[in-house]
Structure 1
Amino acid sequence: MVIISNSSRRASITMEKLRSLGFDPSLFVGAITSGELTHQYLQRRGDAWFASLGRSCIHMTWSDRALGPSSGAALPMKLDELEKILDQCAAKKIPMVVANPDFVTVEARALRVMPGTLAATYEKLGGEVKWMGKPDKIIYKSAMEMAAVDASDCIAVGDSLHHDIKGANAAGIASAFITGGIHATELGLGKFGEVADDIQYMLLPSKTMLILHMCSLHLHGEECTY
C-alpha cells in the first residue's frame, strides 16, 4: 500500500504520523504527498516547467495565514489581504505552485477552506497554477513508480469525489469511494456504517459543486458549516 496525500508536509512526516495513529509503517510501501512532490520537483528541476522557474518566491503558508518575506520570517495576513497579493501576482504573470490542492477539509462536521480554494481564486484572476497533487495524475504516477506497479494493478481508496475519485479516473486507476468522509453529510449519513441510497449518490456531484461554491463565497470567514 502507498499513501497518497494532498498534505503539504514531507512524506517522512506522514509516515511518522502513521505510528502515532496506531498503524505499523512497515505495512506500507511508503507515502507520496503533495509537499514531497513539490520539494522533489523544485529541487531537481528536471521538468521543463519547473526548470523555467526562478530562485525566489512568495511563500504562503496556510496554517498561519502568512506571507513569507525574504528573511524567512512569517508575516501574518488576512485572507482578503492575500487576495490583493494574488491579484498583483496574476498581473505580473507569476506562476503558482500548490503544495496542497485540497479545496476543503472536514473539522468537527465543518468544511474548512484549504489552499486549493485560494489557488482556484488565483486561476480565476488569470494566474497560472501548477497543481501538485490529487486530482492531477502526477501524484498517482509517482505512487505507481514507488510501488513498481501499473495502473491495471491498482485501486485507489478515498473519500473526496473531486480529488480522490476524479484523480483515480484521470490516472486510469480503479477506485473505491468512502462515503463516510468528506461527503457524509451530503449523502445523509450521520453514523458509522450507514449506507446512502442511490438517489443521494446521483445527486452528490451537484451538491459537491454547490458546497465548493459556498466555501469560495465564505473564503473570508475561513469555514462553512453544513
Structure 2
Amino acid sequence: MHIRAGQPVQTAAGIEAFVSAGRYKAVLCDLWGVVHNGVSVHQGAIESLRAMRAQGITVILLSNAPRASVTVREQLAGLGLPPGCYDDVVTSGDMVFRWLCEQSPRPRCYHLGQSWGLSLFGQGEISLTDDIDAADLIVCSALPFEEERISHPFYDELFTKAIAQKLPLLCANPDLTVHKGESEVYCAGALAGKYHSLGGQVRYLGKPYPEVYQFCQDRIADLRKEKVEASDILVIGDGLRTDIRGGNQAGIDSVLITSGLHRDQLGVTDHPSVLPDPKRLELAFNEMGARPNLVLSYLSW
C-alpha cells in the first residue's frame, strides 16, 4: 500500500495481522537490529520468520553486510539462527562482487577494511593491491582499525592521495553505524561520507540504492517460479535511512523496528520493548525523509 507523508502509521505488538490474508509473497528482512544484535539472535524474530514461511511467504535476509552471503550464513548459524527461518541471504557484499565482475577491464582494488571483508573479492577473480598508487578503485568494507573513529590520521593521508589521483571509492556497506550489543560502532558508510566530503567520488551498493531491490525482486521470482511485483514484497528493518527509505523509493511496503538503530533518537534506549511516542516518530520520519507502513518495537509474531 502506498503511504503518503502525514498519513498515520500503524503500530502493533506483532506482525501477524499485517502479513495475513496473503497480502505479501515475500519479505526482505534486515539482520542487524532486527534478527540479531551482533551478539545473539532475538527469539521473536526466529518465531516470526518461521511463521511467515509457514504461510508461504518467501523470506530473503537482506543485509548491508560487506561480505559474501555464504559467510553471513555461517555467522547466523553461529549466533543460533536456524537455516529453516529463511530462503536466501543477499548482502551488499554480493552486489559489490557482482558489480566488480561486470566491469571491463576489471579494476585493481585497494581494500579499505579488515581481513574478514576479503570475501568481497571472491576466490581471486578480483585483483588487489596494497599500493594506493597502483589502484584503480578503493573498495571500503569497514574501518580497518579496532579504534572506532573516523578521524584517524591514516584516513586523511590516504584520502588526500586518492583524491589527487581521482580514484573513485566503492562503498560496500552504506550503513553509517550499527549497534553491536550495547555499543554503537561506525560502518563503511561513515568513511565513504568522509571521502565524499573531501571531494572524492563515491558509489554505494546495497540499501537504500535501487540495484539491490531489483536484484532481490528477480531472486524472489526465481525462487517462487512466478512473477513478483514490488507491491508483493514487504521490507522489515531498523534503519530509516536505509531500510525504510529504500523501500519507499522502490515502491515496497515497510516495517520499522524501533529497538534497533534509532532507539536513542526515539527515546526508547532504556525501555526498548515500549513503542516510541508518536510525536517522536513523526519527527524522525520527517528528519530522515522516510515513512514506514507499520511500527513494531521488536520483530515478533
Measured against the shorter chain, the TM-score band is 0.7 to 0.9
SS in 2 for 1:58: strand
Distance 1:69 1:155 in 2: 41
- Paired with 1:123 and 1:136, the residues of 2 have a C-alpha distance of 17
- 2:273 matches 1:193: yes
In the other structure, the counterpart of 1:6 is 64
Superposed displacement of residue 108, structure 1: 4.1
Q: TM-score if structure 1 supplies the norm length?
A: 0.77
- The answer to whether the 8 A contact 1:2-1:28 is kept is yes
User: Partners of 1:68 and 1:62 in 2: how far apart?
Assistant: 14
TM-superposed CA distance for 1:95, in Å, is 1.1
Cα separation, 2, equivalents of 1:193 and 1:202: 19
User: Superposed, which structure 2 residues align to 1:2-151 within 5 Å?
Assistant: 2-43=60-101, 45=102, 50-51=103-104, 55-62=107-114, 69=130, 79-148=152-221, 149-151=228-230
**What is the aligned counterpart of 2:234 among 155, 171, 179?**
155
Residues 63, 199 of structure 1: CA spacing in aligned structure 2 closer, same or farther, 3 A cutoff? farther
Rounded to whole Å, the distance in 1 between the matches of 2:69 and 2:240 is 23
Report how far residue 192 of structure 1 moved: 4.0
> Does the residue aligned with 1:139 lie in a helix, a strand or coil?
helix
Q: Which moved more, 1:107-116 or 1:122-131?
A: 107-116
Report the equivalent of 2:261.
Answer: 182
2:166 & 2:278 partners in 1: Cα distance?
45
Q: Is the 8 A contact 2:258 2:272 kept in 1?
A: no
Alignment gaps of 5+ in structure 2: 1-58, 117-127, 132-143, 146-150, 222-227, 290-301
Change in Cα spacing, 1:198 to 1:36, as seen in structure 2 (3 Å) is: same
Structure 1 residues 82 and 68: CA distance shift in structure 2, 3 A: farther
CA RMSD of aligned residues (A): 2.6
Distance 2:92 2:206 in 1: 5
The superposition leaves residues 38-78 of structure 1 with CA deviations (integer Å, 9 ceiling, x where unpaired) of 112212x1xxxx44x653222111579xx9615xxxxx778
Please report how far the alpha carbon of residue 181 of structure 1 lies from its aligned counterpart in structure 2 after TM superposition: 0.5
Unpaired stretches in structure 1, ≥5 consecutive residues? 71-75, 210-226
Greater helix proportion = 1
Contact 1:29/1:146, CA 8 A, preserved across alignment: no
TM-score when normalising by structure 2: 0.59
Instruction: Give the structure with higher Rg (CA).
Output: 2
**1:146-186 deviations in Å (ceiling 9; x for gaps):** 11132110010000111111111111111000011011121
Q: Deviations over 1:169-217 (max 9, x none)?
A: 11111100001101112111122420111111122257779xxxxxxxx
State the aligned residue count. 197
Q: d(CA) in 2 for partners of 1:63 and 1:198?
A: 42
Percent identical among aligned pairs is: 31
